[in-house]
């Protein structure tokens, strides 16, 4: 618990987490207001459309998570941390836990805030959370944010450079997965198993009335062949593997 408290203090005494949290909330809820506010008969407002901007907020959360570790490497304070806690894995796991919990909270606030603004803008639309799929579509955002933060922390530990880690994360998330589909013959097959495509499957399901969304009223549906439960397990597994590799690497090299 002491390590968690120390990491919490280190995280919240810097400005970047506060700014990133604010930006994530503004972007996510702002996109919801824009999409739902412009919905109509052709593209009706749905629970899914209130969550249209979640991926943009997730990108900001990953920046926050990467900075939480790369900033320590940049200013050399990670050496002090490792001197105080010789078992590096414990220190890094504590940092990851604190960042993931913060990402979870921001994700839930942004998701339910987006849903709430949608109900205010379109009070007559069918935005009730009356199915399990609807609840996953909203409440699941925080879980995805938390796992994405773990991935970002792992990348930060591996690269140790803020600009490099942020560039890699954003380029991969916003461009690489989509560009994979352009590979002739096998592109679509590879894309089915890309981590963020699979994470989207957990949130959106298979589409249609029984999955809480209309394919035309939100972000593109995932092409993953996994069901929602296994999609979450897969995304969590990717995050865990990356973190294990990152911590193992940090234990072997100089700080």
Q: Is the pLDDT of residue 96 over 90?
A: yes
Can you read off the two tokens belonging to residue 191? 């894309």
What is the average pLDDT across 233-238? 96
Q: By the 8 A CB rule, do 46 and 127 touch?
A: yes
Is the pTM of the predicted complex or chain greater than 0.85?
Answer: yes
φ, ψ at 213 (rounded to 5°):
-160, 160
Other C-beta atoms within 10 Å of 174: how many?
Answer: 13
- Pairwise CA distance, residues 58 & 163, whole Å: 18
Mean pLDDT, residues 200-223? 63
* pLDDT confidence bin for 215, thresholds 50/70/90: very low
CB 35 within 8 A of CB 6: no
Could you tell me where the DSSP H helices lie in the chain? 2-12, 15-37, 47-50, 54-75, 77-84, 88-121, 132-159, 162-171, 177-180, 187-191, 195-204, 228-252
Average pLDDT of the chain is 88
Which structure tokens are listed for 47? Answer: 């629970």
What span, in angstroms and rounded, lies between the C-alpha atoms of 57 and 24?
4
Eight-state DSSP code of residue 221: P
Cα–Cα distance measured from residue 211 to residue 166, given in angstroms and rounded to the nearest whole number: 33
| pLDDT tens digits, one per residue of 58-71 | 999 999 999 999 99
Collapsed DSSP state (helix, strand, coil) of residue 174:
helix
High-pLDDT (> 90) share of the chain, %:
53
Query: Is residue 206 very low, low, confident or very high in pLDDT (cuts 50, 70, 90)?
Result: low
Please give the average per-residue pLDDT across 96-117, as a whole number: 96
Taking residues 221-242, what's their average pLDDT? 92
- In sequence order, the 6+-apart residues with CB closer than 8 A to the CB of 28 are 53, 54, 56, 57, 110, 111, 113, 114
Q: What percent of the chain has pLDDT over 70?
A: 93
Which of 101 and 218 is assigned the larger pLDDT?
101
Q: Is the pLDDT of residue 1 over 50?
A: yes
Distance in angstroms (rounded) separating the CA atoms of residues 59 and 152? 10
Which pLDDT belongs to residue 159? 94
pLDDT of residue 167: 95
Position 209 pLDDT exceeds 50: no
Contact partners, residue 14, CB within 8 Å, separation at least 6:
71
Per the structure, the count of domains in the chain is 1
Mean pLDDT, residues 81-90: 85
Q: Express each pLDDT in 154-170 by its tens digit.
A: 999 999 999 999 999 99
Domain of residue 152 covers: 2-252
pLDDT tens-digit readout, 134-143: 899 999 999 9
Q: 194 near 105, Cβ under 8 Å? A: no
Helices 54-75 and 15-37: angle between axes, nearest 10 degrees:
170
pLDDT of residue 207: 54
The answer to which of 3-7, 16-20, 127-131, 218-222 has the lowest mean pLDDT is 218-222
Q: Can you read off the two tokens belonging to residue 51? A: 């969550």
Q: Tokens 């916003």 sit at which residue?
A: 174
Residue 128 or residue 241, greater confidence: 241
Instruction: Output 146 or 40, whichever has higher pLDDT.
Output: 146
Tokens matching residue 172: 């991969």
Residue 100 confidence (pLDDT): 97
């Amino acid at each position: 618990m002491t390590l968690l408290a120390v990491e919490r203090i280190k995280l919240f005494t810097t400005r970047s987490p506060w700014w990133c949290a604010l930006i994530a909330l503004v972007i996510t809820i702002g996109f919801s207001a824009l999409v739902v506010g412009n919905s109509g008969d052709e593209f009706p407002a749905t629970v899914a459309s209130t969550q249209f901007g979640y991926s943009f907020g997730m990108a900001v959360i990953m920046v926050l998570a990467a900075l939480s570790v790369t900033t320590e490497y940049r200013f050399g304070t990670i050496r002090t941390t490792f001197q105080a806690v010789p078992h590096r894995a414990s220190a890094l796991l504590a940092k990851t836990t604190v960042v993931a919990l913060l990402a979870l909270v921001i994700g839930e606030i942004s998701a339910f805030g987006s849903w709430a603004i949608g109900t205010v803008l379109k009070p007559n639309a069918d935005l009730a959370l009356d199915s399990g799929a609807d609840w996953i579509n909203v409440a699941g955002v925080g879980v995805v944010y938390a796992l994405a933060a773990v991935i970002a922390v792992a990348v930060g530990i591996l690269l140790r450079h803020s600009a490099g880690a942020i560039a890699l994360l954003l380029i991969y998330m916003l461009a690489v997965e989509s560009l994979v589909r352009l590979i002739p013959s096998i592109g679509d097959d590879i894309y089915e198993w890309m981590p963020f495509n699979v994470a989207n499957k957990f949130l959106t399901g298979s589409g249609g009335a029984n999955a809480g969304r209309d394919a035309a009223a939100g972000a593109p549906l995932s092409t993953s062949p996994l069901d929602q439960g296994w999609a979450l397990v897969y995304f969590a597994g990717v995050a865990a593997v990356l973190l294990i590799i990152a911590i193992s690497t940090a234990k072997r090299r100089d700080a």
